[in-house]
Chain A
Amino acid sequence: MAQIALPQVIEEPVRGSSLWRDAAARLVRNPAAMVGLFLILAFVFVAVFAPIVAPYSPTEGTILQRFKPPSPTHLLGTDLQGRDILSRILWGARSSLWVAILSVSIGLTLGLVYGSISGFLGGWADFWMMRLVDVMLSLPGLLLTITIVIFLGPGLNTIAFAIAVENVPVFSRLVRSSILALKETDFVLAARSIGARGRRILVSHIMPNALTPVIVQATLALATAIVDAAGLGYLGFGPQDPATPEWGTMLTDTQRYLTSGAAFTALFPGIAIILSVLGFNLLGDGLREALDPRLKR
């Protein structure tokens, strides 16, 4: 491509740059967003490197060591089976991250396709496609996910799928409304006036501009997915294999002992959930501000 043909151009920084880079610069200047980003990076790091950073095995413990309060040997104490809570939280991050990423990518992809078809077609197709979305959105979210999990059986993947189903209408509606607004813009009219094909207009003129709110929503949806996954785990729909720690399941396991001096067993997984969700929410809000062109300068 021409970047290769004209290498001298690349070194010369022209003033400003792309909108994306401007947005990144604004994001970096936002301290709350940076805290969010730090929390997310930490979360992703422990999820990826849990086998290395965890001091103990998350699955092995001796019953004699149960409910040990935090101490230098077990920084966050031990649970009812004497397993190291810190190690279980670190391993549990994997479950949460997996559910969050899987559910949001499925929900985002389907929602993007559905919403863009609806918005681009317009007319009756759009009308009925959006009524279906209304129906989906009118179902209580958690009930719908629970129903799906009941039918498909418990486990991380089914939880992710159920949360994705909940996300599809949200993304569909968002994408459609951006597309409707973008269809009326001057640059889309200008693109049509030079004879650009419909598909090309959708892919290169409408989609990149419609993605801004979608990115924000996706970040926030990651947070919701973590909460939902923990909720489903708490209700007993989490991974049935005890070798896969899950934050919500950790809460269930210990709830009966909360009042008998072992509150920390629930406290620490709870804090883990809060921090990861907070991270995505802070970053999401920061992105919303950074990507909003009206806030520019």
Chain B
Amino acid sequence: MTVTEGRAEAASRTDGDVLLRVRDLAVEFASSSGRVHAVNGVSFDLQPHELLGVVGESGCGKSVTSLAILRLLPKPSGRVTDGQVDFDGRDLLRLDDDAMRDLRGREVAMIFQDPMTSLNPVITIGEQLAEVVQAHQKVDRREAERRAVEMLELVGIPNAKRRLRDYPHQFSGGMRQRVMIAMALALGPKLLIADEPTTALDVTIQAQILELIQRVAHETGAAVMLITHDLGVVAGMTQRIQVMYAGRIVETATTAELFAHPRHPYTVGLLRSIPRLDEGGSHELIPIEGLPPDLTRLPKGCPFAPRCAWAIERCLEEDPPLDPVRAGEAEVLAGPQATHRAACWNQPTDEEARAGTPADGRISAVAAAARARATEAAALLAGDR
């Protein structure tokens, strides 16, 4: 099977234009301090060939969601407690182990954060590349090796043939991530999950790797789920973004819409905390005060409320649903026409989003109190160190 055949197959076997359908996914981890509710009812769709960005800070459940989809959660502590994952017409959470194994790498592939540790130090690159092919197809050594060369060339590694015999430590970080990408896309998967693929790399290499993922995904026809904590990374590359916080999706929209009209205070916070070149002039970078909630006991109401400048009474009582920001709008869950949805009772306006704080009359007593608490907690923590 070549790369182009893979694409044709991916296109012909889609389930009503939804490649991946996740519903109410919930994941728990057993820990000494109790159950950690890492993912709490995540639902989303992904279309074939779609480039989706999943954004959030560490511990918000974005990586756990992807590991749960591939059933690679660490055993025995991690467990999917609820939900459904349909991929290409199959229920992944109920697929038998062998079918699941065969699906990994062939239909859904994954790239991890740290290319320095994701390759086995004692096996040659060529052998590790050949392994992908041999795990799914009956091919001889030589054929597997020929394919490995092809893959390395695809991701732009010079002298591919010669480098097959090299060991991972003879490659730079960027080159290793290229190798990981080659491995992931070798069999023309329909979905590529890239978990912080550039976080461990030099800034100068990051753009190259992102561009490579984009190009190779396009050539192989894979949909991409790009997981990152950096909105800057997803800005230029994805078509749609999901923002996650405390194990749930708090806002989702097409990339352009999300950057232009963020409607969740957390998204606003993320946007205000990165430098933007597209707005011209200079603006202050505003950090998000406080810390993410303790996932062993989630507070009542909106999980972001304790850190939120827009918080009102209702936020502390009722958990806001992920609803369309324009009330009454039909919900399109995926694709270029995806509806802009946010889980917030008191959404920031465009002006407020640009300023990064609520308009003067809109700071509630609740938010002021929350702000004070958050600052205090941060000070305490800083004092601890």
| The residue from A5, A20, A122, A187 contacting B118, defined by CB atoms under 8 A apart | A187
Bits for B100-134, please: 1 = Cβ < 8 Å to A, else 0.
01111110011010100111111100110001100
A16 to B170, CA, bound (A): 7
Binds A, one of B159-167, B220-228, B289-297: B159-167
**A193 within 8 Å of B by Cβ?**
yes
**B38 within 8 Å of A by Cβ?**
no
Q: Are A193 and B105 in contact (CB under 8 A)?
A: yes
**B169 within 8 Å of A by Cβ?**
yes
Q: How large is the interface on B (under 10, 10 to 19, 20 to 34, 35 or more residues)?
A: 35 or more
Q: Are B169 and A16 in contact (CB under 8 A)?
A: yes
Contacts of A204 in B (CB 8 A): 120, 123, 127, 131
Binds A, one of B71-79, B249-257, B322-330, B354-362: B71-79
**A18 within 8 Å of B by Cβ?**
yes
Q: Are B135 and A205 in contact (CB under 8 A)?
A: no
Q: Are B136 and A193 in contact (CB under 8 A)?
A: no
Bits for A176-205, please: 1 = Cβ < 8 Å to B, else 0.
000000001111011111111100100011
Query: Considering only CB atoms, which chain B residue lies closest to A22 in the complex?
Result: B169
Q: Are B76 and A197 in contact (CB under 8 A)?
A: no
**A143 within 8 Å of B by Cβ?**
no
Query: Considering only CB atoms, which chain A residue lies closest to B100 in the complex?
Result: A195
Q: Are A208 and B117 in contact (CB under 8 A)?
A: no
**A209 within 8 Å of B by Cβ?**
yes
**A241 within 8 Å of B by Cβ?**
no
Q: Are A2 and B102 in contact (CB under 8 A)?
A: no
Contacts of A140 in B (CB 8 A): none
Bits for A73-108, please: 1 = Cβ < 8 Å to B, else 0.
000000000000000000000000000000000000
Q: Are A14 and B166 in contact (CB under 8 A)?
A: yes
**A256 within 8 Å of B by Cβ?**
no
Q: A9-B162, A12-B162, A18-B167 are in contact. Are A197 and B101 (CB under 8 A)?
A: yes
Contacts of A2 in B (CB 8 A): 126, 141-142, 145, 164
The B-contacting residues of A in range 187-236, CB under 8 angstroms, are 187, 189-197, 200, 204-205, 208-209
**B183 within 8 Å of A by Cβ?**
yes
Q: Are A187 and B142 in contact (CB under 8 A)?
A: no
| The residue from A14, A184, A196 contacting B170, defined by CB atoms under 8 A apart | A14
**A7 within 8 Å of B by Cβ?**
no
Bits for B135-149, please: 1 = Cβ < 8 Å to A, else 0.
110000110010000
**A15 within 8 Å of B by Cβ?**
yes
**A19 within 8 Å of B by Cβ?**
yes
Contacts of A208 in B (CB 8 A): 120, 122-123
Q: Are B118 and A196 in contact (CB under 8 A)?
A: no
Q: Are B120 and A189 in contact (CB under 8 A)?
A: no
Per the CB 8 Å criterion, the residue count for chain A at the interface is 34
**A123 within 8 Å of B by Cβ?**
yes
Query: Considering only CB atoms, which chain A residue lies closest to B122 in the complex?
Result: A208
Bits for A238-255, please: 1 = Cβ < 8 Å to B, else 0.
000000000000000000
The B-contacting residues of A in range 238-297, CB under 8 angstroms, are 293
**A135 within 8 Å of B by Cβ?**
no
- A22 to chain B minimum Cβ distance, whole angstroms, is 9
A61 to B382, CA, bound (A): 83
Contacts of A19 in B (CB 8 A): 121-122, 167, 169
- B89 to chain A minimum Cβ distance, whole angstroms, is 19
Q: Are A194 and B74 in contact (CB under 8 A)?
A: no
**A1 within 8 Å of B by Cβ?**
yes
Q: Are B112 and A194 in contact (CB under 8 A)?
A: no
A21 to B111, CA, bound (A): 29
Contacts of B135 in A (CB 8 A): 194-197, 200
Query: Considering only CB atoms, which chain A residue lies closest to B140 in the complex?
Result: A1
The A-contacting residues of B in range 160-198, CB under 8 angstroms, are 161-162, 164-167, 169-170, 180, 183-184
The B-contacting residues of A in range 1-58, CB under 8 angstroms, are 1-2, 5-6, 9, 12, 14-20
Contacts of B183 in A (CB 8 A): 190, 194
- A207 to chain B minimum Cβ distance, whole angstroms, is 10
Q: A123-B76, A187-B119, A190-B180 are in contact. Are A196 and B141 (CB under 8 A)?
A: no
Q: Which of A16, A190, A200 has the most CB of B within 10 A?
A: A190
- A91 to chain B minimum Cβ distance, whole angstroms, is 41
A196 to B117, CA, bound (A): 17
The B-contacting residues of A in range 146-193, CB under 8 angstroms, are 184-187, 189-193
Interface residues of chain B, those whose CB is within 8 Å of chain A, are 70, 72, 74-76, 101-106, 109-110, 112, 114, 117-123, 126-127, 131-132, 135-136, 141-142, 145, 161-162, 164-167, 169-170, 180, 183-184
Interface residues of chain A, those whose CB is within 8 Å of chain B, are 1-2, 5-6, 9, 12, 14-20, 122-123, 184-187, 189-197, 200, 204-205, 208-209, 293
Question: Other than the known A6-B161, A186-B112, A187-B121, what 7 A-B pairs have Cβ atoms closer than 8 Å?
Answer: A2-B145, A14-B165, A19-B122, A187-B117, A193-B105, A194-B135, A200-B131
29 residue pairs from A and B, CB less than 8 Å apart: A1-B141, A9-B165, A15-B170, A16-B167, A16-B170, A18-B167, A19-B122, A19-B167, A19-B169, A123-B76, A185-B117, A187-B118, A187-B120, A187-B121, A189-B118, A190-B110, A190-B118, A190-B119, A190-B183, A193-B70, A193-B110, A194-B105, A194-B109, A194-B131, A194-B184, A204-B131, A208-B120, A208-B122, A293-B121
